[in-house]
Amino acid sequence: MRTVTVAAPLCLAFLALAACESSSTSSSSSSGGSSSGGSSSGGNPAPGQPDFDAMAKGGDCAAPTGAGVEHRGDITTDQVWKASEGVHRIDSTVRILANVTIEACARVELSSSGQIEVGSTSVPGKLVTAGTLEGGKLSPVLIGAKDPAKPWGAMVVSGLASLDMSYTVVSGGDAPGTQQNGGGQIRVFGESSPSKSGLPKVSKQVRSNWLLVEGAQSYGVQMLYYAGFTDDSTGLAVRKTKGAALKMEVGAVQALPPALHFSGNTSDEVFVDQSWSGTLDHTYRALGVPYRVMATVYLQPIEDGAPAKMTVEPGVTLRFDNGRNTSGITVGATDKRQGVVVAKGTADKPIKFTSAKAAPAPGDWMGFYFRYYPTSGHAFEHVTFEYAGAQSGAVGFGCGPKDNDATILILNERPTESWVKNCTFKNGGGETGIVLGWTSDESGPDFKATNTFESMPQCSVSRWRTKATNGCPSSGVTPDCL
């Protein structure tokens, strides 16, 4: 339903901190810009990246005029919300069950009881916000709070729906009373669900052509149930949220835009979590921001089949959080549900696995626990491991200390070669750096010679057990710790 309301004010409430007049500083160079994939201020802007401060103030758009339009209830026919109509107001929940396009320079303001839902559990919907940056002229779409002191709800996108957002600012929402499923000013549900049978799939249903999410009370954006961004997304910016910039399913981390700008959030990171008992193949891409692993990731297929593969690109940092008492990577569950890790950094772009704590200490996170795995195909190269070695629950594997708390623990199968080369282990907890927990009369492989151990437990690498003696070498013959 569309009803004409009273005349719009000349300056929107969600622009109260900005000047009412339009900004003339709207080139593609951002005052808080960052390089492609960058998260902090400074550096060269990514392709098409706008001036975010100017965009938040309305860019080169004129102040809204016209009577304004109030939107209510379910929208079941295709609509275009025009800038010339004045302010578009939402004072309750509006469900978009058709195709809605919001023109460049259009303004949408929501009261504290307002919310936007795109699609439903049975009906698709699509929201397109068509802001532009053409010839240096910035014409954004602004979606924000009627009263900055009274946050609105959220933009909730169902598994059947999609967003296509270009040069758009979404701000002032995520009211505490509306933070279902953990919150998020934009909350997107993929097509998959742990309650559904079958394997999940990544739903690339959000196109972000420099969407700016600002001022959320929890997550800026939360992508649930394997929701992801489209391949033609260009960039995403999240600023000034009271939580993390972005959260998504671990198996969907490769479905991120190629450039991220995170600044002024409580956490300028991509939070990753796991909702299934296993995961799909996934890649941590080098986008200039850290990833925070919220709990133990179980790297294994959800059903019996080929091993699940985790790939980490050069330059990536994974920070492990023990907010649920444990964090790390557990590889494989059974012989039919195995996992593979490939983390190949370079001397110029090393990979880092470290603690997420502000004051890190040895044993902050568990480390890598290989339980069931192929004997080849893994790789750790030019990786720095820090502050791992929390309790693993494994006891009595390999020689050396009985308790097997370590940065890397390899059980059961003898690898065909060393997976760990040119790596640095620092400030580890537990009793051992690397536990070689298989049983074999064959020698090697050598997991110590090409790696560096600094401020680690006295037993850098514990030796494997032998089949002939079903145990460890006699004291003084061959050391239990290499």
Higher pLDDT, 161 or 322: 161
pTM score, whole prediction: 0.90
CB contact set of 30 (below 8 Å; sequence gap of 6+): 45, 49, 50, 51, 52, 53, 261
Residue closest to 238 by CA, chosen among 250, 229, 248, 246: 246
CB contact at 8 A, 123 and 75: no
pLDDT, one tens digit per residue, over 232-291 is 999 999 999 999 999 999 999 999 999 999 999 999 999 999 999 999 999 999 999 999
Percent of the chain with pLDDT over 90: 80
Please report which confidence band the pLDDT of residue 470 belongs to, taking 50, 70 and 90 as the band edges. low
- pLDDT computed for residue 7 by the predictor: 33
> Distance between CA atoms of 165 and 232, rounded to whole angstroms?
12
> Distance between CA atoms of 216 and 239, rounded to whole angstroms?
8
pLDDT, one tens digit per residue, over 184-243 is 999 999 999 877 777 899 999 999 999 999 999 999 999 999 999 999 999 999 999 999
Identify whether 258 is preceded by a cis peptide bond (ω within 30 of 0): no
Rg (CA), the chain: 26
Between 78-92, 105-119, 246-260, 468-482, the lowest mean confidence (pLDDT) is in 468-482
